[in-house]
Amino acid sequence: MRSPHEHPNIATKIAASFARQRLLQGFGAVLEKIEPGHVSLSVDIRPEFCQQHGFAHAGLTFALGDSAAGYSALTLMGEQQEVVTSEMKIHLLAPALGETMRADGHIIRQGRRQFVVGAKVWALKDGDPPRQIAEMLGTMVPVDPS
Amino acid sequence: MRSPHEHPNIATKIAASFARQRLLQGFGAVLEKIEPGHVSLSVDIRPEFCQQHGFAHAGLTFALGDSAAGYSALTLMGEQQEVVTSEMKIHLLAPALGETMRADGHIIRQGRRQFVVGAKVWALKDGDPPRQIAEMLGTMVPVDPS
Amino acid sequence: MRSPHEHPNIATKIAASFARQRLLQGFGAVLEKIEPGHVSLSVDIRPEFCQQHGFAHAGLTFALGDSAAGYSALTLMGEQQEVVTSEMKIHLLAPALGETMRADGHIIRQGRRQFVVGAKVWALKDGDPPRQIAEMLGTMVPVDPS
Amino acid sequence: MRSPHEHPNIATKIAASFARQRLLQGFGAVLEKIEPGHVSLSVDIRPEFCQQHGFAHAGLTFALGDSAAGYSALTLMGEQQEVVTSEMKIHLLAPALGETMRADGHIIRQGRRQFVVGAKVWALKDGDPPRQIAEMLGTMVPVDPS
């Protein structure tokens, strides 16, 4: 992978992008970690995020994991490039029960035209070990400024 | 496929389930169509649903399409069964720009333990033809009441 | 989609590519149809293609469907371009039992850098209606000549 | 995960199943490793497995990875159960160039009705470090004897 030294301002770039993500902002999501090739996000699981069975909706799980994976790719893209999701698969492994949801994104293959990325999403409950609730695998595309 | 006559109250069952989907209710999503094997949902695209580039967030597109696909499967499940997403793949085909987003779910294969389902998601703008923004393909699992 | 008139020799180009596909040639696969955006392939289901349960192996189903989908995309790529599979999902819907397997590929979205494609794979048995054994959804990438 | 002690004969069971996989036997594939939750397979890359660009065909990569993932799940299924692929996604990361291809399967989530599994496929060339050529993520289903 390319050196992170090419991107001294990657944390600033991602924080600025994240601040414009109105859906995630509305959910109260926060940036937990930004490292080259790895970005983590978290969000409190509120009752208003739930589906018909009382667990957090898969749409929330997807949004958090997709964003963590996309930003992971963005850490190693060009300074002027943006990231767009091409396609993403999510396996829902367990009900999203707990106080907080955290998504850890990572890069599997860095390419010039495509990044293959993954994310693991966890439900956290005070006193319990983290429980993996989703596994994701997808493709991110770098977009040059228009 | 099984006859819908086994489910005279399927519309009532789905409407009741949908009313408990707090995330989708918060988005203002509405049930557009319920037919055996086919369910459509729609939602107005509001500024607060957008991502960093000003389009509706993929999390919204996923949530709407996943729910349309899941309810499509539920129309042909047993009267006491619930539906859970096992896994889902989404291709994002075009930016989600417009006034309204609509998701049309359908069944590809009805099984005893798994339903293979698909969904197409469209962006609608007054005066323009609908534009497909996502194609989805996944697996739904029937869950017996506990 | 672009006009097929840009590719008067697309059938020749695909036949030549197909003739160099040694794995598919070894299986005895044949080109059934080449139309803009649609390519069909078929193969006789021989005992030596089977897996441990006596059905055709998913590797054969995948190879046939992936190639049909890829060539579908190639019909609308540039005359000098080649096609490479980026990623592909396959749902195995029913056991591959019968005399012949046929894969019908199609384009869902034509882009400059990516084609989203699908394929349906069928098992054919004399006297029976075709039975769908697989549904596929994936991404093809055009590659310029080096 | 369940104890492997419940399956003292799991290696025997998998070897017997593998011996009936005529497609993989025809390819000359061999069982490299059988441990609870982990199975590895390998195959020599022969010219007759190649596609139109001279690399091993994605159908071979898929067949090897799918089988490694399926047998990984089978190591933790019931003694009388068989395994069937429900769906599988494959990302092709790099051309399959080298002398040997190896697939390492693993379990991500063990369930009663479904196993979520992954596989990494590598191209090996004497003197070079292994090169990952594919990442796979899918669903395996246990099947009771009829």
Chain A's closest residue to C138, CA to CA, is A87
Three-state SS at A11: helix
- Please give the tally of structural domains in chain B: 1
Q: How big is chain A, counted in residues?
A: 146
Instruction: Find the CB nearest B89 among A56, A57, A89.
Output: A89
Q: Whole-model pTM?
A: 0.95
With a cut of 50, say whether residue A48 has pLDDT above it: yes
Each residue's pLDDT tens digit, D61-119: 999 999 999 999 999 999 999 999 999 999 999 999 999 999 999 999 999 999 999 99
Residue D64 contacts residue D121 (beta carbons within 8 Å): yes
The DSSP-derived string for chain D is: ---GGG-TTHHHHHHHHHHT-HHHHHHT-EEEEEETTEEEEEEE--GGGB-TTSSBPHHHHHHHHHHHHHHHHHTTS-TT-EEEEEEEEEEE-S---SSEEEEEEEEEEE-SS-EEEEEEEEEE-TTSPPEEEEEEEEEEEEE---
Each residue's pLDDT tens digit, A9-43: 899 999 999 999 899 999 999 999 999 999 999 99
Burial of residue C28 (number of CB atoms within 10 Å: 0-12, 13-18, 19+): exposed
CA geometry: angle C5, C11, C12, nearest 5 deg: 110
Each residue's pLDDT tens digit, B72-98: 999 999 999 999 999 999 999 999 999
Instruction: Give the burial string for B39-65 (b: 16+ CB within 10 Å, else e).
Output: bbbbbebeeebbbbeebbbbbbbbbbb
Instruction: Give the burial string for C126-144 (b: 16+ CB within 10 Å, else e).
Output: eeeeebebbbbbbbbbbee
Each residue's pLDDT tens digit, D43-65: 999 988 887 777 899 999 999 99
For residue C93, give both structure tokens.
């819907």
With a cut of 70, say whether residue C37 has pLDDT above it: yes
For the segment B34-46, the average pLDDT, to the nearest whole number, is 97
With a cut of 90, say whether residue C60 has pLDDT above it: yes
Contact flag C139-A89 (C-beta cutoff 8 Å): no
pLDDT at residue number A8 = 67
Enumerate the β-bridge partners of residue D134.
D92, D121
pLDDT at residue number C7 = 62
- Closest chain B C-alpha to A50 CA, distance in angstroms: 5
> Max CA-CA distance within chain B?
48
Report the Cα–Cα distance between both ends of chain B, in Å, rounded. Answer: 26
Phi/psi at D7 (5° precision): -125, 65
Place D4 in a pLDDT band, splitting at 50, 70 and 90. Answer: very low
Say which residues have a Cβ less than 8 Å from residue B142's Cβ, sequence separation at least 6: B73, B77, B78, B81, B82, B83, B113, B115
With a cut of 50, say whether residue D2 has pLDDT above it: no
Question: Distance (Å, rounded) from C-alpha D135 to C-alpha C139?
Answer: 15
The DSSP-derived string for C15-72 is: HHHHHT-HHHHHHT-EEEEEETTEEEEEEE--GGGB-TTSSBPHHHHHHHHHHHHHHH
* Cβ neighbours of C113 in A, within 8 Å: 113, 141
B19: amino acid identity, one letter: A
pLDDT at residue number D5 = 44
* Cβ neighbours of B52 in A, within 8 Å: 17-18, 20-21, 82
Domain that includes residue D48, residue range: 4-143
Residue B85 contacts residue A51 (beta carbons within 8 Å): no
With a cut of 90, say whether residue D37 has pLDDT above it: yes
Say which residues have a Cβ less than 8 Å from residue C54's Cβ, sequence separation at least 6: none
ipTM higher than threshold 0.85:
yes
A72-76, B36-40, C57-61, D51-55: segment of lowest average pLDDT: D51-55
* Cβ neighbours of D109 in A, within 8 Å: 91, 93-94, 132, 135
pLDDT at residue number C1 = 45
CATH number at residue C127: 3.10.129.10
Q: Is the dihedral of CA D23, D83, D122, D125 positive or negative?
A: negative
Cα torsion D8, D14, D17, D20 to 10°: value is -130
* Cβ neighbours of A20 in B, within 8 Å: 51-52
pLDDT at residue number B7 = 62
User: What mean pLDDT is reported for chain B?
Assistant: 92
Which carries the bigger pLDDT value, residue D50 or residue C111?
C111
* Cβ neighbours of B89 in D, within 8 Å: 89
C&D contacts, CB < 8 Å: 116
For the segment B109-119, the average pLDDT, to the nearest whole number, is 97
- Closest chain B C-alpha to C66 CA, distance in angstroms: 16
- Closest chain D C-alpha to C64 CA, distance in angstroms: 8
Question: Distance (Å, rounded) from C-alpha D23 to C-alpha D41?
Answer: 14
Each residue's pLDDT tens digit, D131-140: 999 999 999 9
For the segment C5-29, the average pLDDT, to the nearest whole number, is 87
Contact flag A86-C139 (C-beta cutoff 8 Å): yes
Contact flag C114-A89 (C-beta cutoff 8 Å): no
Residue A108 DSSP symbol: E
Each residue's pLDDT tens digit, A56-83: 999 999 999 999 999 999 999 999 999 9
- Closest chain C C-alpha to D26 CA, distance in angstroms: 7
Say which residues have a Cβ less than 8 Å from residue C75's Cβ, sequence separation at least 6: C4, C7, C10, C14, C34, C35, C36, C37, C38, C39
Sheet holding B115-124, edge to edge: A30-35, A38-44, A100-110, A115-124, A131-143, A82-92, B82-92, B131-143, B115-124, B100-110, B38-44, B30-35
pLDDT at residue number A7 = 62
For the segment C100-127, the average pLDDT, to the nearest whole number, is 97
